[in-house]
Chain A
């Protein structure tokens, strides 16, 4: 299963390496979203209770994760677009690859792409919105768990919509309500990691971890029936 996963993931990353869709299109899109949020929430607006702080700084965690989520939708669409162009999904069904391995492989590629994206967007958010970093450990755990949740649930739902002409419009409708709790948890945990106290964030990090595990399990179980279909 893990060997198959690595085969798929390395293939996806190689496709990305030569096409540069992620670095050339998705990443700039994410940065654009960050800048547009700045337009939506005026950078001069101050927090009422604490006038020395900008609103933008205070809501930075939520905006960052929103930007990640929107970019992730594009990355997920891309992950399955490359399989549905030339009948590749059929060819995958004809291989002896373990369906769970295919799920984990596609998820792993998306995971690595998202982490790269988050590093850049995180730096961007830090530059644009400006926020202190109080608890790096909590932040690292939050990022890892959130990314796993997004990659696992996203891969599962993108596979459910794969092979359809309406895929691009269907995936957001399916994925976003599902990831709403993840956005919630990630935002609150990140707020705690930046502004403290860390004790407020750890329960949410745990929630994110549980969510990630649940969707990893769901994906491993349901990819079999999904690829089984004729």
Chain B
């Protein structure tokens, strides 16, 4: 733990899920997701084991975001099968359970512009059935507990909005963190903070999938790298050989827009 003295609100799931080592957190087989007739996911196969930090990398429009949204139970599963946290994604009840158990940070921050930082976090924490005592430490942890607390979200910078959205996820204590480009828009301290949160969550029993174009940073964080291209993951070796400037980083085609 980076801060042992802290009450560490980013502690993992409220109830440690008894996940047997054989039971993957995410299990997709030939998953197809059509968005307006376009196959955003074209037969995705993926296994994610408990405690993994899986980095999704690949060009823009490869299907990374859709993959994360599918795992959150938000994108439709038209063909193939998918299980997340032992719930069936093609089943209505299963999808509802998945939605409650994951923490998704998308491109959008899902905040009400008119409400202050604290009001936003408080509302979403309550809506997510989080414990009220988790809110305060989460605000502090994300560095928005001071002056920013009473600022309407409309007055925040992109990075501050992202910190607020992360505070909501921290309160939620998800079993599976789905972070879509969590480093985007954050300063160096913010990106370090994201990495810290991820490591802490995993230490407390959660599993993480994230996409990033900050490949140097993300490869260091991840326990496994999965390249997504053409609407499906192309699996790589289980343990990445990290290292800045290694030949496999593909910044050439991965334009961070």
A and B touch in the complex (CB under 8 A): yes
Q: Which of A201-230 contact B (CB under 8 A)?
A: 228, 230
Given known pairs A7-B123, A86-B110, the reply for A96 and B74 (CB within 8 Å) is: no
Q: Which residues of B contact A86 (CB under 8 A)?
A: 108-113
Closest approach, in angstroms, between the C-beta of A16 and any C-beta of chain B? 8
- Whether A95 contacts B124 by the Cβ 8 Å rule is yes
Across the interface, name the chain B residue whose C-beta is closest to A4. Answer: B127
- Whether A95 contacts B100 by the Cβ 8 Å rule is yes
Across the interface, name the chain A residue whose C-beta is closest to B129. Answer: A96
Is B152 in contact with chain A by the CB < 8 A criterion? yes
Grouping DSSP codes into helix (H, G, I), strand (E, B) and loop, the B interface class, with mixed when no group exceeds half, is loop
Is B149 in contact with chain A by the CB < 8 A criterion? no
- Whether A87 contacts B127 by the Cβ 8 Å rule is no
- Whether A230 contacts B95 by the Cβ 8 Å rule is yes
Is A200 in contact with chain B by the CB < 8 A criterion? no
- Whether A82 contacts B99 by the Cβ 8 Å rule is no
Q: Which residues of B contact A45 (CB under 8 A)?
A: none
B residues with a Cβ closer than 8 A to A are 72-77, 92, 95-96, 99-100, 102, 104, 106-115, 119, 123-124, 126-129, 152
Q: Which residues of A contact B112 (CB under 8 A)?
A: 11, 15, 82, 86, 88
Q: Which residues of A contact B128 (CB under 8 A)?
A: 94-96
- Whether B102 contacts A85 by the Cβ 8 Å rule is no
- Whether A82 contacts B114 by the Cβ 8 Å rule is yes
Chain B proximity mask over A64-101: 1 for CB below 8 Å, otherwise 0: 00000000000000000010011110111111110000
- Whether A7 contacts B113 by the Cβ 8 Å rule is no
Residue of A86, A93, A97 contacting most chain B CB atoms (<10 Å): A86
- Whether B99 contacts A93 by the Cβ 8 Å rule is yes
Closest approach, in angstroms, between the C-beta of A100 and any C-beta of chain B? 14
Given known pairs A95-B127, A95-B128, the reply for A87 and B108 (CB within 8 Å) is: yes
Closest approach, in angstroms, between the C-beta of B248 and any C-beta of chain A? 33
Q: Which residues of B contact A85 (CB under 8 A)?
A: 113
- Whether B110 contacts A90 by the Cβ 8 Å rule is yes
| Among candidates A91, A96, A228, residue contacting B110 with C-beta atoms closer than 8 Å | A91
